[in-house]
Chain A
Amino acid sequence: SQKIEQNSEALNIQEGKTATLTCNYTNYSPAYLQWYRQDPGRGPVFLLLIRENEKEKRKERLKVTFDTTLKQSLFHITASQPADSATYLCALDSTSGTYKYIFGTGTRLKVLA
């Protein structure tokens, strides 16, 4: 069955360092992948989308890579700040090009001042 794995353990890093979060998937080939941020008590907020034919996408301090051979996406936050502390979710379309999304369980990031 289709499965998405994100590191369920919290990631603690020092302010100013680069945070790297991992999203691995099995048993399907998504057309695109999205990353969302979720703060406690709030709904997820969209950050970035990367398509299957793109290797890398950047937005300000954020960078996402998508390796369809490894079936993995990496999400990087450079020059991290305490305000970046949140849970980060990856989401993929369940079958190529359709409307339905499968979300990972998320990785909780804590940036220490």
Chain B
Amino acid sequence: GAGVSQSPSNKVTEKGKDVELRCDPISGHTALYWYRQSLGQGLEFLIYFQGNSAPDKSGLPSDRFSAERTGGSVSTLTIQRTQQEDSAVYLCASRPRDLRGYNEQFFGPGTRLTVL
């Protein structure tokens, strides 16, 4: 079946603008993650969803970042008043229901965000 998809694949925006990044997880996967990857850096955890609930938002860098998930499926990461330091690749991952976390994560291709 289809894997995790993300859109847009690339986004160039001006400083101060708002952006929305979309993630379509694999059908039936209840857990969804957002990560940020800067050049030469590892994956930085942003937020985790179990169903539509986000029990852990601890990785969101500031209150300019927010995320939601509807219908236990699609998720949107919104960055308000973007700053140049927000430039990075934003990766989404999903996995089947297993609260122990032993299951692998399936990653999307990412959205490359460039803030000018």
B91, A104: Cβ atoms closer than 8 Å: no
B43, A32: Cβ atoms closer than 8 Å: no
Known contacts being A89-B42, A105-B42, is A100 close to B105, with CB within 8 Å?
no
State the total of A-B contacts with C-beta under 8 angstroms.
Answer: 58
- Please indicate the chain B residues that have their CB under 8 angstroms from the CB of A44 in the complex: 43, 91, 105, 107
How long is the Cα–Cα vector from A42 to B56 in the complex, in angstroms? 25
- Please indicate the chain A residues that have their CB under 8 angstroms from the CB of B102 in the complex: 32, 49, 51
Q: How many residues of A contact B (CB 8 A)?
A: 25
- Please indicate the chain A residues that have their CB under 8 angstroms from the CB of B43 in the complex: 44, 89, 91, 103
Q: Measured between C-beta atoms, what is the minimum distance from B21 to chain A in Å?
A: 13
How long is the Cα–Cα vector from A43 to B106 in the complex, in angstroms? 9
A99, B99: Cβ atoms closer than 8 Å: yes
Q: Measured between C-beta atoms, what is the minimum distance from A1 to chain B in Å?
A: 13
A46, B104: Cβ atoms closer than 8 Å: yes
Q: Measured between C-beta atoms, what is the minimum distance from B45 to chain A in Å?
A: 6
Q: How many residues of B contact A (CB 8 A)?
A: 25
Considering the complex, give the chain B residue whose CB is closest to the CB of A45. Answer: B107
Considering the complex, give the chain A residue whose CB is closest to the CB of B31. Answer: A99
Q: Is A97 an interface residue (CB 8 A)?
A: yes
- Please indicate the chain B residues that have their CB under 8 angstroms from the CB of A89 in the complex: 42-43
Q: Give me 27 A-to-B residue pairs in the complex whose CB atoms sit less than 8 angstroms apart, sorted by A's number.
A: A32-B101, A32-B102, A34-B104, A41-B109, A43-B4, A43-B107, A43-B109, A44-B91, A45-B107, A46-B105, A46-B106, A89-B43, A91-B43, A93-B101, A97-B100, A99-B56, A99-B99, A100-B45, A100-B56, A100-B101, A101-B33, A101-B105, A103-B35, A103-B43, A103-B45, A105-B41, A106-B42
Given contacts A8-B40, A100-B45, A102-B45, 5 further A-B contacts (CB under 8 A): A32-B101, A44-B91, A98-B101, A103-B42, A106-B42
